């Protein structure tokens, strides 16, 4: 999954300058802007398999601040911020008689390059690095005393867009490898 997002980001960033030069679309995300994304994930990256069911779908909140205008090329804005993702699942075995409840939390820092292509559309590609914290709790007759708690490095290459309906309110979508493969939701700029 990471390779298609990386290729998409390279192709996307390589064609941005040529596409924008004829349209002269002003940057939507600029140095000093602050944006909060509230998202719902579709297609989790954390658990798969026949015996897993979602208890809480992947949800996330991220914050980003415009850090530098004209980053590397004209109209490219660098944004930096943080990310928090949460999901919960249940692994049931023996027709639901025993299993484990899992909780996943991803906390990380993100950086993205924003470039205007179409008016009111903030397009970007980025990288997130952080930690994935997983906790588990056994339940039922066949529950064991071992723990599957753990944590590890979390990373995501992602691409996304925010479409602004007003000065401060947008809908957004991101493709990547974080708490989910696809995240959609609302963005608030202040």
The domains found in the chain, sorted by start residue, are: 2-189 (2.40.160.20)
Length of the chain counted residue by residue? 190
Tell me the pLDDT of the chain averaged across its residues. 84
Report residue 22's pLDDT band, with 50, 70 and 90 as the boundaries.
very low
pLDDT of 139: 79
Q: Is 136 exposed, middle or buried (0-12, 13-18, 19+ CB in 10 A)?
A: middle
Count the Cβ atoms, other than its own, within 10 Å of residue 135: 15
pLDDT of 48: 65
**CA neighbours within 13 Å on the CB side: how many for 58?**
22
Element (H, E) at 3: helix 2-23
**CA neighbours within 13 Å on the CB side: how many for 112?**
31
Report residue 145's pLDDT band, with 50, 70 and 90 as the boundaries.
low
Q: Nearest to residue 110, comparing CAs of 153, 74, 79, 89? A: 79
List phi, psi (to 5°) of 9. Answer: -65, -40
User: Looking at the predicted structure, is the pLDDT value of residue 16 above 60?
Assistant: no
- Percent of the chain clearing pLDDT 70 (strictly above): 79
Please tell me which residue, 55 or 23, carries the higher pLDDT value.
55
């Amino acid at each position: 999954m990471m390779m298609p997002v990386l290729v998409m980001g390279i192709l996307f960033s390589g064609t941005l300058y040529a596409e924008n030069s004829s349209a002269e679309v002003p940057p939507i995300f600029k140095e000093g802007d602050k944006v909060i994304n509230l998202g719902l994930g579709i297609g989790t990256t954390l658990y798969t398999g026949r015996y897993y069911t979602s208890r809480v779908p992947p949800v996330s909140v991220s914050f980003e601040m415009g850090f530098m205008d004209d980053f590397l090329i004209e109209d490219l804005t660098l944004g930096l911020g943080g990310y928090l993702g949460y999901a919960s699942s249940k692994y049931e075995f023996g027709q639901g008689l025993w299993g484990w409840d899992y909780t996943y939390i991803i906390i990380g820092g993100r950086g993205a390059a924003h470039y205007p292509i179409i008016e009111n559309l903030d397009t970007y590609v980025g990288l997130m690095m952080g930690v994935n914290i997983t906790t588990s709790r056994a339940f039922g007759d066949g529950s064991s005393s071992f723990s599957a708690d753990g944590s590890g490095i979390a990373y995501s290459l992602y691409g996304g867009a925010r479409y602004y309906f007003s000065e401060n309110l947008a809908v957004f979508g991101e493709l990547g490898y974080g708490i989910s493969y696809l995240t959609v939701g609302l963005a608030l700029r202040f």
